[in-house]
Every structure is written in C-alpha cells, then in structure tokens.
Amino acid sequence: MPYTPGEAAGRIGVSIDTIRYYEKIGLLHGIRRTSGGRRVFDDDDLSRLGLLRCLRDSGMPIARLRRFAELLSTGGTDEQRAALLEEHDREIDEKVTRLRREQQRVKEKIAWYKGLQSPVLEAEELLDRGGGVDVVPGAAHQRG
C-alpha cells in the first residue's frame, strides 16, 4: 500500500523532517517517487524506517545506523547484520543495568526524603561511600 511522507511519519511516529534527514544521510535508499517528485513509501519502507527509529531511540549512533543501512541495501549477509545488532543489544543491556542502579539510588533517596529510611541506614550508606557523617538521634547529616 502506498503512503505519503506524512502518512509514513504518522504511522512510525517520527516527523517528516526526520524522514528527510534519514534519507539525506543515507539511511533510506530507494524510496520511490511520483512523476511529480513526491516520495511514496510502501510497507517495506515503513518496516525499515520503524527499525531504524527503534535502533536510534535505543541509542545506536548514527555512524552505526549508516553501517546497518548499508548492510540492508547492499546485500550484507545475515551474519553481518546479526553481529551489528548483537553488539547494540549488549550495549542496551549495559545501559539498562546502569540505569537500574541509578534508579535504585533515586528510590532510596525518595524513601529517605519521605522519612521511610532510618538515620542509621543513611549514615551507613554514607560511610560505605567514604563520606563523613555526624549521627544525631533522629537525623543523618553528611559533613561537607
């Protein structure tokens, strides 16, 4: 089914400017045009655009996106494509692990601010991190 640039952008959840940019930097090849020069997208184009958006949204750098687009358009092997995606998948796992650690710290701080964490636990946490503390009954203060 043919789609206008606006319809394609709406279905994928990107702006028309993003589609133009992806085409300009070589991520989208072979997009058909009408006799009037307007781009016309088909379901395969939308699928490829959706994958590129997913990869970009998950942090894949533009240079690697270009490499992946090359592998798609120039007949790279399935093994090459899979290897590139596996590398990105490992990076996503590392990023998620880091974010979960940071999220836990944020949750601990939320609990502390809500008064759900005891001053002694806060003092122990600061000591574990190498900070100095003064423990006063009912409060934990970090020395600055």
Whole-angstrom Cα distance, residue 23 to residue 47? 15
- The pLDDT of residue 18 is 92
User: Which domains, ranges and CATH numbers included, belong to the chain?
Assistant: 5-99 (1.10.1660.10)
Q: Which pLDDT score is estimated for 144?
A: 41
Cα–Cα dist 119/135, whole Å: 7
pLDDT at 143: 42
pLDDT at 120: 59
pLDDT along the chain (144 residues), means of 10: 92 93 89 90 93 95 94 88 97 96 92 72 68 52 45
CA dihedral sign, ordered 66, 72, 77, 82? positive
Contact 30, 73 (CB under 8 A): yes
Question: What is residue 73's predicted lDDT score, i.e. its pLDDT?
Answer: 85
Exposure of 102 in the CB half-sphere (CA atoms within 13 A): 6
Let me know: does 76 contact 69? Beta carbons within 8 Å. no
